Amino acid sequence: MGDEALIARLDELAPAEGPNSVDVWAGLTIHRFCGPAILRRAEFDSLSVGFIAQATGAVAYVVTAEGSNIDLQITAASLEHPVFYSALHIDPQLVRSISSSMYPLSVAGERADPSDAPALSTLDDELMDAVIGFLASLSSSCDRRVLAPLRMSEMVYRLLQREQRTRLLRLSSDELLRNPIAAALSHIADHLAEPLSASALAVHVHMSPSAFSRAFREATGRPPYQYIKDRRLDRARDLLDDRTFGVAAVAGAVGYSSVSHFIKEFHRRFGSTPGEYAETSAQLFHSSSTSRQEHRHSVSVQRLTSIDRNHHHD
């Protein structure tokens, strides 16, 4: 059972009553409750997802951030059946990046009221598997370096497919706005189809152009113009992988008014023209689909052959 595996992981990582910091992963705290308690809203200080689990099988999750108007009341905890609350910090820029890939032509930072989503949601099997996989990846240093970031991305991806999606998008957007460079990155992600410049971004985040360019380079390792170009071309590649849009439409969707300039920049970055890349991507997709179909047919034939042989022996 998935909930039993989750409880086992939490019990291992949080042996003591009260909050247990997980030293191997900054931003993960697991509370072990052995009696009634209340988690106050003041205890939520950053964008996080909280997983609530008890050995009796009750498993739920909640998305919180600084100032979240939520009090969590723990009522059925005991020494024999403790309740675990694991608070895992989520990088709001990771939410922005994944949501932009999932919905490349939509506004990632939806402004719908997050209170429209229920405070608590049930942890289904698919999301639970992602959580268990993340916790399991903390067991070795190599897994933490390689697997844990992938599991974290998987969790965010699954959360963005569920009813807490609006809350997660809104709270991550609000947190990004409290950091000027993060706010600039968020603005770039949401407005790739529009003209973007370092001076306009500096005005947007209320900084001088020189201070903004210096801080931007320190944060990203690239000057603003290079970062913007890289993001546009990365988004273009995602759209071409989607196999829905033509080259001209993709160029416009990522802010290129000149298709020929877009083709030149794409070729310089990826070593092929957008048309060549799209054709190769389509061939790979078709080859993969054909392989899966042939595998299914092969399995069906083998099963039928086995049945026929059994019938013949009868």
**Residue boundaries of the structural domains of the chain:** 2-173, 179-221, 225-314
Cβ-in-10-Å burial (0-12, 13-18, 19+) of 184 comes to: buried
Q: What is the pLDDT of residue 43?
A: 61
- Distance from C-alpha of 129 to C-alpha of 133, rounded to nearest angstrom: 6
Q: What is the pLDDT of residue 285?
A: 58
Q: What percentage of the chain's residues is helix, strand, coil (to nearest 5)? A: 60, 10, 30
Q: What is the pLDDT along the chain (314 residues), one digit of tens a residue?
A: 568 889 999 999 999 998 998 888 988 999 999 998 887 754 667 889 999 998 777 789 999 887 677 778 888 888 988 999 999 999 888 898 898 888 765 544 454 455 556 678 999 999 999 999 999 999 988 899 999 999 999 999 999 999 999 999 999 888 877 788 888 888 898 889 999 999 999 998 888 999 999 999 998 899 999 999 999 998 898 888 877 889 999 999 999 999 999 999 999 999 999 999 988 877 765 554 454 444 443 333 333 222 333 444 44
Q: What is the pLDDT of residue 297?
A: 39
Q: What is the pLDDT of residue 118?
A: 66
Q: What is the identity of the amino acid at 42? A: A
Q: What is the pLDDT of residue 189?
A: 85
Between vectors from CA 136 to CA 135 and to CA 141, what angle results, nearest 5°?
Answer: 100
pTM (2 decimals)?
0.61
Q: What is the pLDDT of residue 314?
A: 44
Q: What is the pLDDT of residue 4?
A: 86
CATH hierarchy code of domain 2-173: 2.60.120
Q: What is the pLDDT of residue 54?
A: 87
- Dig out the tokens for 174 from the structure: 């609000």
- Distance from C-alpha of 50 to C-alpha of 63, rounded to nearest angstrom: 6
Q: What Cα–Cα distance (Å) separates residue 196 from each residue in 38, 199, 213, 224?
A: 46, 9, 14, 9
Query: Could you tell me where the beta strands, DSSP code E, fall in the chain?
Result: 18-21, 28-33, 37-39, 48-54, 59-64, 72-74, 83-89, 121-122
Q: Are 67 and 41 in contact (CB under 8 A)?
A: yes
Distant-in-sequence contacts of 26-32, Cβ < 8 A, 24+ apart = 26/89, 27/88, 27/89, 28/86, 28/87, 28/88, 28/89, 28/138, 29/86, 29/87, 30/84, 30/85, 30/86, 30/87, 31/84, 31/85, 31/86, 31/87, 32/82, 32/83, 32/84
The highest-level CATH class for domain 225-314 is: mainly alpha
- Dig out the tokens for 107 from the structure: 């506004």
